[in-house]
Amino acid sequence: MLTTPFTGSAGGETPLVTITGDLQPEWDIPVNQHLLIISRNQSWLSHGFHKYPAKFFPELPRWAIRKYSGEGEHVLDPMAGSGTVSVEAMLANRHSVAIDVDPFARLLTRVKTTTLDPSILDRAVAAIAEALVAFEAGGDPARMQAWTHVPPFAYQETWFQPFILEELGAIRGAFARVRDAVAPHAPGPYLDFLRICLSAIIREVSNADNNCTRTVVRTRLNKRVVPGMALRLFRRMTQVNVARMREFVPLAPAGATVAVPEDGDARAIPLEPGTMDLAVTSPPYINAVDYPRTHQLEMYMLDLSPPGRPLAEAKRKHIGTEVVRAVDYRELHRYGLADLDAQVESLYAIDKRRAYIVHQYFVDMERNFREVWRVLKPGSRYVVVVGNNIIREQVVPTHSYLMQVAERVGFNVETYFASEVIRHYIKVPRKERINQDWVLVLRK
């Protein structure tokens, strides 16, 4: 047994402890402990297939899964994002259910948890490579043909250079080769894997800022996108992800299932009561990451955003959304927790809309807590990793309010500790950022 690295007493002042790599399931992390976890596994196996804002570093869900569930048991992530929990559940031989309102998140989770036969994958990749060589050698007719595979979406010329659209069209067109290359196997999972490889290069070959939650073009960035770049990056991404898949396959136990329901919402979980042994999640930050807008271009290229359907429609379903109606925030709302209500009232005096967004976030999180409570077995845990926010220059102690919400629902707060955030790929604007997440362990 490894000795514990913690010296502080429960609840008292605890010095920051740096952990490189795994947190051991045998450790009891003291209440209010502050940790700096240096991840060794950020891009390991399928974790590295695609970037995702506020993605877990794998060590944290791995710790929760190993500490609070057993092999063959069922783990739920009700706001699964890129599916880190399900990948880790699979590696630990647990079944998992991944729920997310975002179709891009669901596709990415499916791809990251579907093991593919590397030799069949090689055949699919070779067929696409051959089609792309033909495109490069094909002159004007091949280019005209590529344009027929560019999906329709607004402001194409703002988001992409024409030569990039042509290359992206050629890649999408080459996907037609996959069916024959993998026959007699079903082409769906192979195609989805390649669609995620394509998606993973979209931001870089677009005119938009590579590192912003909002998909925006900033002329002062002087971003250099050159002909041939989409083809080159796609080839490289495919090679790298195939190598990751090759490493993943032998490590993923065959029996561990992953369900990604199509109709999932964290506030209405499509599961029977008392069926889950553990839930682990990181909810969105209030008003900070606009997921549909972050993945806007990727959604166009993956045909996940039907033309003419406004982004606002997708955003409305997100917990923490900014898309709210004026009629809803005209009046001050009370949630029923004294300190939260006092803060919402003080925000209301300066910004009614933001005050309502904060209030609604806790209403929605309570609905989620009630649902997770319903589907968990008695005695099992809900591990929630959440960051605090700064809204209108006020610190909103989300973690502290959520612990009160959890108790209202019936959970016991077993422990909580802080994890310093070293680096999120997507930048939250400086004045709204707090470089610390809180890990809450709630027990039913």
Compute the radius of gyration of the chain from its Cα atoms. 23
Does 55 bind ligand SAM (CB under 6 A)? Our answer is yes
**Shortest distance (Å) from residue 104 CB to ligand SAM:** 8
Single out the segment in contact with ligand SAM by CB under 6 A; choices: 23-31, 165-173, 252-260, 282-290.
Answer: 282-290
**Shortest distance (Å) from residue 317 CB to ligand SAM:** 6
Nearest to 225 by CA among 157, 293, 172: 157
| Burial (0-12, 13-18, 19+ Cβ within 10 Å), 160 | buried
DSSP 269: -
**Shortest distance (Å) from residue 51 CB to ligand SAM:** 10
**Shortest distance (Å) from residue 302 CB to ligand SAM:** 15
Does 362 bind ligand SAM (CB under 6 A)? Our answer is no
Nearest to 163 by CA among 146, 175, 149: 146
Does 84 bind ligand SAM (CB under 6 A)? Our answer is yes
Does 344 bind ligand SAM (CB under 6 A)? Our answer is no
Contact 416, 438 (CB under 8 A): yes
For ligand SAM, give the closer residue by CB, 124 or 319.
Answer: 319
Cα–Cα distance between 329 and 324 in angstroms, integer? 8
Interface of this chain with ligand SAM, residues 301 to 340, rule: CB under 6 A: 317-319
Exactly one of 45, 266, 304, 396 binds ligand SAM (CB under 6 A); that residue is 266
Does 63 bind ligand SAM (CB under 6 A)? Our answer is no
Contact 359, 286 (CB under 8 A): no
For ligand SAM, give the closer residue by CB, 177 or 318.
Answer: 318
Nearest to 24 by CA among 45, 44, 3, 8: 3
For ligand SAM, give the closer residue by CB, 173 or 283.
Answer: 283
Tokens of 419: 């994890």
**Shortest distance (Å) from residue 277 CB to ligand SAM:** 19
Nearest to 343 by CA among 331, 356, 330: 356
Residue 363 has a CB neighbour count (10 Å cut-off) of: 13
Residue 241 has a CB neighbour count (10 Å cut-off) of: 23
Exactly one of 99, 165, 198, 376 binds ligand SAM (CB under 6 A); that residue is 99
**Shortest distance (Å) from residue 81 CB to ligand SAM:** 3
Does 79 bind ligand SAM (CB under 6 A)? Our answer is yes
Contact 84, 61 (CB under 8 A): yes
Does 56 bind ligand SAM (CB under 6 A)? Our answer is yes
Single out the segment in contact with ligand SAM by CB under 6 A; choices: 33-41, 75-83, 299-307, 420-428.
Answer: 75-83
Nearest to 398 by CA among 415, 382, 385, 413: 385
Binding site for ligand SAM (CB under 6 A): 52, 54-56, 78-79, 81-82, 84, 99-102, 105, 265-267, 282-284, 291, 317-319
